[in-house]
């Protein structure tokens, strides 16, 4: 199993240049600094913002993405146990990719419960890639359907347990992308919740 390491000078452009409303570079920069991460994994690389931040911070970073047009890779195929200090998981918004047909594509059309279960399975799998004391940060997008706001962070906490760290709020730079409004014109969805678990909060030491 080989993870993709981006050539950040050529590929990791700022997210806003690619129409991505979820520019997580400042968040990743803060997580690396606060947790003193020495090696980072981003299994949902997207535009490459995490890789660029790691390059700026001179921190090794491995990335992959199921929807990478050149080298797609399923995060459930990652097998590098005990290798990372920080994993940043930023799943696609629920049902944001109706054309997707892979069962592990976060944006594919599926029920909300199935979406939450997929995220739970990803969190528990990726937690095994952490070194002792390492953290996994999930940038959990809110979703709105038929007037109801679905909170991935809340539902994940219900399934895998409370984190010791407070849940962070990550504001969006804007609430519209490629003609789509996130949320509603009157009450737009203008933030994600960020949940950070320590490895030992997810996996017992003897597992």
pLDDT at 206: 62
Q: Where are the alpha helices (DSSP H) in the chain?
A: 8-11, 25-35, 49-57, 112-127, 152-160, 199-202
Burial (CB < 10 A; 0-12, 13-18, 19+), residue 46, is buried
Q: In this predicted model, what pLDDT tens digit does every residue of 129-185 receive, in sequence order?
A: 999 999 999 999 988 887 788 999 999 999 999 999 989 888 765 566 556 666 666
- pLDDT (0 to 100) of residue 58: 96
Global pTM reads 0.84
Mean pLDDT in residue range 189-196: 86
Distance in angstroms (rounded) separating the CA atoms of residues 201 and 6: 30
In angstroms, the CA 60 to CA 68 distance is 20
| pLDDT tier for residue 3 given thresholds of 50, 70 and 90 | very low
Are 195 and 142 within 8 A, CB to CB? no
> What is the band of 201 on the pLDDT scale with cuts at 50, 70, 90?
very high
What tokens were used for 114? 């199935």
| d(C-alpha 177, C-alpha 4), whole Å | 27
pLDDT at 18: 43
Domains and CATH numbers, the chain: 8-202 (3.40.50.150)
As a whole number of angstroms, the distance between CA 84 and CA 136 comes to: 10
Q: Is the pLDDT of residue 191 over 90?
A: no
Task: Tell me the pLDDT band of 104, cut-offs 50, 70 and 90.
Answer: very high
pLDDT at 93 > cutoff 60? yes
Let me know: does 123 contact 202? Beta carbons within 8 Å.
yes
pLDDT of res. 9: 38
Residue 1 pLDDT > 60? no
Which tokens in the block code for residue 173? 């730079």
Q: Contact, 15 vs 139, CB < 8 A?
A: no
**In this predicted structure, what is the pLDDT of residue 147?**
76
Q: Is the pLDDT of residue 207 over 90?
A: no
Residues 29-76: pLDDT tens digits?
999 999 999 999 999 998 889 999 999 999 999 999 999 887 899 999
The beta strand positions in the chain, using DSSP E, are 40-42, 61-63, 84-89, 130-145, 148-151, 168-171, 176-177, 180-181, 191-198
DSSP state of 63: E
Judge whether residue 197 has pLDDT over 90: yes
């Amino acid at each position: 199993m080989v993870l993709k390491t981006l050539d950040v000078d050529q590929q990791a452009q700022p997210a806003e240049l690619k129409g991505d409303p979820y520019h997580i570079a400042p968040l990743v920069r803060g997580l690396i600094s606060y947790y003193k991460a020495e090696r980072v994994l981003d299994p949902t690389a997207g535009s490459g913002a995490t890789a660029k931040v790691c390059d700026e911070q001179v921190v090794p970073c491995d990335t992959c993405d199921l929807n990478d047009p050149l080298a797609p890779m399923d995060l459930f195929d990652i097998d590098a146990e005990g290798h990372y200090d920080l994993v940043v998981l930023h799943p696609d918004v629920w049902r944001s990719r109706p054309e997707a047909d892979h069962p592990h594509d976060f944006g594919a059309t599926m029920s909300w419960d199935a979406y939450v279960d997929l995220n739970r399975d990803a969190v528990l799998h990726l937690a095994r890639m952490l070194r002792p004391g390492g953290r996994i940060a999930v940038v959990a997008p809110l979703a709105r359907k038929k007037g109801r706001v679905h909170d991935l962070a809340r539902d994940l906490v219900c399934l895998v347990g409370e984190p010791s760290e407070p849940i962070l709020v990550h504001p969006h730079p804007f609430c519209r992308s490629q003609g789509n409004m996130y949320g509603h014109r009157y009450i737009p969805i203008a933030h994600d919740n960020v949940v950070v678990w320590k490895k030992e909060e997810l996996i017992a030491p003897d597992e």
